[in-house]
Structure 1
Amino acid sequence: MTAVPPATPAPAPLAAFRAAVRDDAVARGRALLVVRLAIALYLLELLLNLVRPHVLPDEPTLSIFQKTPGGGSVGRLLGTPRAVFWTVLAGIAIGALIQGFVLVTRPDERRARALTWATIAVMLGPFGLIPLVVVLEYPAQALACVPGTAFVLWLLHHGQRFSRVPLAMLLVAFGWGALIVFGLGRAASNLAFGTVGGFVGKGGKASLTAQLKNQYRVMDVVVVHLGVVNALLVAAGVVLLLVLFRHRLTDAVTGLVVGAAIGLGYNLVESVLFIRLYGSLSAFNGATGGFEYWIRQSVGLLGGQVAFGALLGAGIGVAAQARRRGERRRAALTALAAASTGAIATEVLSAWLSHVVHDHVDIGSPFDTLIVSPFLWLLPQAPFILVTAVLLVLGTRARAAAARAGVTAETAAGPAVTRQEAPFLIDPALRFWTLAGTWRLHGWNGLRALSRLQAAQLDLAAWRWRHMDDADGPAREEGDALRAKVMRLKARAAAAPAAPATPAAPRPGQAAP
């Protein structure tokens, strides 16, 4: 009979976070490469803005220093605060100096680890000031967006039928979207707005009609630019998180959940800004902050950036599973192209369709607000959302097969998963009714205990499936740790007076025992 390890207190959140993050030299090197590529993208935008033709006589060296008429929300959308810009440059310079110091001194492992994380923080952190300024300046709009955003985060975490993405990974993905994708993407697009405007408007004075045409051309290019840059940054975030976090399964579902969380973070800050912006400009264009909230935080909350982030993440997850380099490249590039073109089509086609349809529909009427406008906004996204749903279904089926194989192998290997428990782990319906019956018999404490035990067993089964043939070295240590966690949870459940020793619950249509 196998001895049960003694129960130990649950680790603190910080300790759990550290345990979930890979901190080896290979992971840090890949993370640093992703950060360098993101910074290189921004520096390229900066260089192009510096060499752009100047259209106005007193135009500043950088277009982001041009004062926008009206300021306020419009300024937040079209400009970058000077303090933030200089902080960004200082962070890039400090990060470069730290990397030079590491290259010259070649410090030991502990110091190299600290310097690597410091480099990533100082290079990327300043971009997060841009969305933080938006959220802090408009707290009422930000608070209004919290309930819907929190619900989608809950759905992403609990909606996975088998091995879940760690909550810490999900929250970091959300933060990447809210802070880095929005901040860096907005900083790059603000530079691109001035760069494109300079090249399009060069050649001296033009008539008023020509100036208006040029502005439309500039906005079209900037929309394309923003869609491509945002997709690149979302892809960078998905890759970074897949590299840094320990997870049992790297597949389409993992990538989909991480990408959706990144898109959700971006959508939160974008919603705050546009709710405020359209609220202040309602007298000119007829749109209101309430309508923007309805579109971005209600009927279309799972569309837009969330849907395109999920599509891109799922494609990267598929690429991570591919064995050949060519297959990985094709899957990743296809997902990147689909996500970027989908975002661009949503902005362009929905506006065009709205212009066509609103000649026959009363703008602002209940029918327009509740039916027509949401339909026109979601229509260009429908093919991409359908593809994402198909990837989710196929990925879930693949996970089910992996869970069956992993549970079967672990059942034969030891007492962490018994033959009585195996059917409940591989059948989501049985697992749900098990939890429901446990709640009726033993309350919330019993429900939480059994839920944690089953989640740990599924993580162990996912590890077993990934390491069927190579469970040695670090992989073996990880498996031993997961198995020990399962046994600790079983020991706690057995020691608790109200907790069930084995899962038991009524099947649908049967009465509870």
Structure 2
Amino acid sequence: MITSTTPPAADPESSLRPRRYGIAIAVAALVVLALIASSILNYVYLDTIPGRASLYGLLTVALITLGTYILVRAYDRDRASRRKHLIRAGVLIGLGVLLWLLVIDVFLFTQSAGPGVAAICALACLPTTAFGLLVVRRMDRNHKEPWRLVLVAAAWGAIVATSLVVWGETIWEASAQRALVPGPGLDTSLAFMAGILEELAKGLAVLLLYLVMRNEFDDVVDGIVYGAAVGLGFNFLESISYMTNVYSIFSAEGFGWVAAGIQWYGRQVLGLFFGHATYTAFIGAGVGIARQLHGRRQKVLAIMAGFIVAIAGHFSWDAWATVFPIQNTLFGLVEIHLRTLIMTGPFTAALIALLLFGIRYEGQNLLEQMRKEAGTGQGAILPEEVPTLASPWQRLKQRLQAFQRAGPRGYLRVSRLQTAQLDLAMERWHRERKEIDTPLEAEQQLRQRVMELRHWVAA
């Protein structure tokens, strides 16, 4: 029997929000400084970027121009709306500057074979990466993440994370080669290099999402989705890098595209979910667990555990690849599959088990909150709707029925209504656990939105 239908107030420690934002700003500032340093080093030591600014700088110029226009017009507006326009202008100008720095770094990964080959390799990797992102997002059967955040996570992995590790790995490798003789010690050092630096760079994206978009970061399931998206983005650009590199090596012998195709298969088909997506998803899982812990020490331990598992998985793969290289024989094709299953398979299996547990736990709590909301009699969720909302298949069936009645418009209307109802249940769950710092009015606004969508669907 349900005895309480009104959730407790929001998290009383609302001061955590500005503290989170302060940490996020500090992390973002360090990332920007690292990118600036990397771009300067690239310009001085690796490439002078001749003439490329005229083409790739167009978007940067457009962003800065638009930001400047909004900045100038902001002072012609009233004080109430001026701050909003100043923030928009700052974001656009900041994106323009950041894009310029990142574009400079991207050329490092494609210059060996030329822009034409790099473009073909990118087009080959785009469908598989898009498929991976679609699958990853749909893993959350109860409350899917917004596409904008999934794509932001993937973009970080593809551009920011790859740019951050360039000079770190260069310095580590040079230092290790000077200090260690060729052998197991050097191989182990290089394996740790990839695991530590790459997972730290990718994990920063998940951590920033948690700090800045906490209300869109619900639990371990969301963490796995965001982490896997970052890994898929990183794998996208790394695949292009390896494909263009082997093409430039073997093109003189007439096997350039064959070598690039083998790299594409190994990284975009066989290793699409088994590699970077799995490793960084563990970081996301750690952050997602921390999302629902109350003690600061527990949060730190959960996040550290995620990073450690990700680094361990990445290290094991690189160490195995170094100690037991693939043979240049027909059996080498079998070895590639066996190595993936043996070395990364257990990590992926553990991640899937964690994901299934998280989905089940999330689903049970959402069901409870939907029942409580239905018990209030406010009309946002009706008692007869609870079984349908609690089942992904029943929700799909309801959307398909709406499609048969009213076409795509009916499908979209019912989908939006279901999403709003699940948002309301998720809001109640976080508020009941005191994990949210938005005021109670935010929940009422969600309830009103559900009612508006209900009338829209019925119209």
Normalising by structure 2, report the TM-score.
0.77
**2:23 corresponds to 1:30:** yes
**1:45-64 residue pairs with structure 2 within 5 A?**
none
Indicate the residue corresponding to 2:106 in structure 1: 131
Number of the residue aligned with 1:468: 432
Partner of 1:99: none
| Superposition deviation, residue 308 in structure 1 | 0.7
Shift of 1:364: 4.5
Specify whether residues 272 and 63 from structure 1 end up closer, same or farther in structure 2 by C-alpha distance, changes over 3 A only.
Answer: closer
1:251 Cα shift? Answer: 0.9
The answer as to 2:283 corresponding to 1:303 is no
The correspondence for 1:312, drawn from 271, 283, 294, is 283
* Residue correspondence of structure 1 range 82-93 to structure 2 within 5 A: none
Counterpart for residue 409 of structure 1: 372
1:293 equivalent in alignment to 2:273: no
Q: Deviations over 1:81-103 (max 9, x none)?
A: 3569xx9xxxxxxxxxxxxxxxx
Q: Distance in 2 between matches of 1:32 and 1:444?
A: 42
Aligned residues: 402
Aligned-pair distance for 1:454? Answer: 0.7
- Rounded to whole Å, the distance in 2 between the matches of 1:409 and 1:190 is 56
Q: Alignment partner for residue 155 of structure 1, among 135, 158, 178?
A: 135
Equivalent of residue 167 in structure 1, options 147, 151, 155: 147
Q: Which residue of 2 aligns with 1:426?
A: 390
Q: CA deviation at 1:304?
A: 0.7
Aligned partner of 1:273 in structure 2 is 241
2:77 corresponds in structure 1 to none
SS at match of 1:288: helix
Cα distance in structure 2, aligned partners of 1:260 and 1:438 = 32
Tell whether the 8 Å contact from 1:181 to 1:233 is kept in structure 2 after alignment. Answer: yes
Map Cα deviations across residues 402-428 of structure 1 (whole Å, 9 max, x no partner): 211221222123111111211101122
SS at match of 2:303: helix
Cα root mean square deviation, aligned: 3.5
Of 161, 165, 173, which residue of structure 2 is paired with 1:185?
Answer: 165
Structure 1 stretches of 5 or more lacking a match?
1-23, 47-61, 67-79, 88-107, 201-209, 496-513
Greater relative CO, 1 or 2 (CA 8 Å, sep 6+): 2
Query: Which structure: greater helix fraction?
Result: 2
**Relative to structure 1, is the Cα distance of residues 409 and 248 closer, same or farther in structure 2, using a 3 angstrom cutoff?**
farther
- Mark the CA change 1:449 to 1:364 in structure 2 (over 3 Å): closer, same or farther: farther
Return closer, same or farther for 1:457/1:350 CA change in 2, 3 Å cut-off: same
1:257 aligned partner? 225
1:142 and 2:122 matched:
yes
**Hey, what does 2:208 align to over in structure 1?**
240
Change (3 A) 1:455 1:408: same
Question: Does residue 458 of structure 2 align to residue 494 of structure 1?
Answer: yes
Displacement of 1:161? 1.0
Amino acid at match of 2:351: T
Structure-2 residue corresponding to 1:376: 339
Q: Are residues 484 and 443 of structure 1, via their aligned partners in 2, closer, same or farther at CA, if it must alter by over 3 Å?
A: same
Aligned equivalents of 2:285, 2:138: Cα separation in 1: 18
2:187·2:322 contact (CA, 8 Å) conserved in 1?
Answer: no
Segments of structure 2 that go 5 or more residues without pairing to the other structure are 1-16, 54-81
Structure 1 residue matching 2:215: 3-state secondary structure: coil
Q: What is the distance in 2 between the residues matched to 1:473 and 1:391?
A: 27
For residues 471 and 221 of structure 1, do their structure 2 counterparts lie closer, same or farther at Cα, with a shift above 3 Å needed? closer
**1:310 CA displacement:** 1.0
Report what 1:507 is aligned to.
none
Q: Establish whether residue 437 from structure 1 lines up as the match of residue 430 from structure 2.
A: no
Q: 2:309 aligns with which of 330, 333, 338?
A: 338
Cross-structure match for 1:14: none
Which residue of 1 is the match for residue 47 of structure 2? Answer: 81
Structure showing greater radius of gyration is 1
2:169 and 2:194 in contact (8 A); partners too: yes
Sequence identity (%) = 25
